[in-house]
Amino acid sequence: MKQQLVICVENEGYEASLEKRKLYVKLKDEAASKHNQIRVIDESGEDYLFPSKWFVEVTLPKDTEQAVLSAA
C-alpha cells in the first residue's frame, strides 16, 4: 500500500502529539474519511485520528519520498 505524506498545519490541544509544519504518514482509513478525519502516526509512534483540516497532503519527488518514508 502506498503511504501518503501530510504536513500538520494545526495542533490546538494536541501540541504534545503533533508538531506544526512537520511531515506525518497518513494511513488509509475510509471510515475516518467519512467523518472528515484522517489517521496519522503521531509523535508517540501510534496512529490516531485527527481532523483532516489540520493537514495538507504533499507530493514529493519520488527519491525524496522514498528517503523520508525509509527514515520513518
Assign domain 4-71 to a CATH class: mainly beta
Summarised one tens digit per residue, pLDDT across range 24-71 is 999 999 999 999 999 999 989 999 999 999 999 999 999 998 898 888
**Total H helices, total E strands in the chain:** 2, 5
- Residue 22 CB partners (closer than 8 Å, separation 6+): 7, 8
| Res 5 pLDDT > 90 | yes
- Residue 2 CB partners (closer than 8 Å, separation 6+): none
pLDDT in the model for residue 56: 98
| Res 14 pLDDT > 80 | yes
Give the integer Cα–Cα distance in Å for 72 and 63: 15
Domain limits of the chain? 4-71
